[in-house]
Amino acid sequence: MEHLKLILTQAQQNLFFLLMVAGISLVIYCVSYGAQVLIDHQSHMIKCNTFGTTTSTRRIAAIGMFSAISVILMYFEFPLPFLAPGFYKLDFSEIPVLICGFAFGPAAGVIVELLKVILHILLKGTSTAFVGDFANFAVGCSFIVPATIVYYWKKTKKHAILGCILGTLTITIFGTIFNALYLLPQFSKLFGLPLDQIIAQGSAIFHGVTNLTTFVIFCVAPLNLLKGLLVSIAVMIIYKPISRILHQKM
């Protein structure tokens, strides 16, 4: 009987988690889509509801292509032991997401971000009971959404740079807070690993790490800042030639 209660409790917790993830994903998409529609209306270009057949087909194909590239790039992840404990890894899967978001709007970027995570789960599975996968999506969107909204508002080099700066600041701040309030406590609970042991791994790198707050400030924030900067630089270099190919007339 106790075993059955435990199973039911775990099932309820898993269902709640899945519903929460679905709800948050829907909110993020609605925000990005709403911003895109609002910008289209203000610029008298109702793109979201008036895609021609060619444009719509190209957009769908691009979303699929960039999602696949993002999944491939997720396999090329590496730790930065001089910056953060080994369970934090850096990858460049946000580059295709940002390119697609720049080319087709914030909503397209969110879709690619979501498909990237789903495809990665289907291909590789999850070792974190979906907690790490949800974190990947949420933190990724914190970079992609503000960056693409700014650029979609005015598609100039200046706004691309401003968007990347805002996205980098957002992923740094949000990622730091998200790790402290949700991700690290969840990992601690999931793997039965006391937070003190996680903090100790940070202390081995930076002597100033003494608690959870200093851990995320010294280890998590610089990692997200570095990722935002590197992704931004890469996209600023390669976006224009790719954009010409994506938008050339057929």
Question: Could you write out the DSSP letters of every residue in 183-238?
Answer: IHHHHHHHHT--HHHHHHHHHTT-TT--SHHHHIIIIIHHHHHHHHHHHHHHHHHH
Are 211 and 68 in contact by the 8 Å Cβ rule? The answer is no
Q: What's the chain's average pLDDT?
A: 89
State the chain's maximal CA–CA distance in angstroms.
66
Q: How many Å apart are CA 142 and CA 140, to the nearest integer?
A: 5
Tell which residue, 227, 201, 230, has the closest CA to residue 214.
Answer: 201
Beta bridge partners of 79: 89
What pLDDT was estimated at residue 250?
A: 44
What pLDDT was estimated at residue 177?
A: 97
What would the CATH number be for the domain defined by 51-77+87-247? 1.10.1760.20
DSSP 79: E
* pLDDT tens profile 2-48: 655 555 565 566 677 778 888 889 999 999 999 999 998 887 654 44
DSSP 180: I
* pLDDT tens profile 136-159: 999 999 999 999 999 999 999 999
- Region 52-67: mean pLDDT is 81
Tell which residue, 82, 96, 112, 108, has the closest CA to residue 226.
Answer: 82
| Residue 10: both structure tokens together | 């775990």
Are 140 and 113 in contact by the 8 Å Cβ rule? The answer is yes
DSSP 84: S
What pLDDT was estimated at residue 21?
A: 82
Residue 237: exposed, middle, or buried by beta-carbon count in 10 A (0-12, 13-18, 19+)?
Answer: exposed
What pLDDT was estimated at residue 65?
A: 96
Classify the C-alpha dihedral 237-249-29-116 as positive or negative: negative
Task: Report which residue type is found at 23.
Answer: G
What pLDDT was estimated at residue 15?
A: 73
Classify the C-alpha dihedral 25-30-31-37 as positive or negative: positive
Place of tokens 């404990």: 85
DSSP 26: H
Cβ-based neighbour number of residue 118 at 10 Å? 14
Read off φ and ψ for residue 89, nearest 5 degrees.
Answer: -130, 150
| Residue 186: both structure tokens together | 């969840």
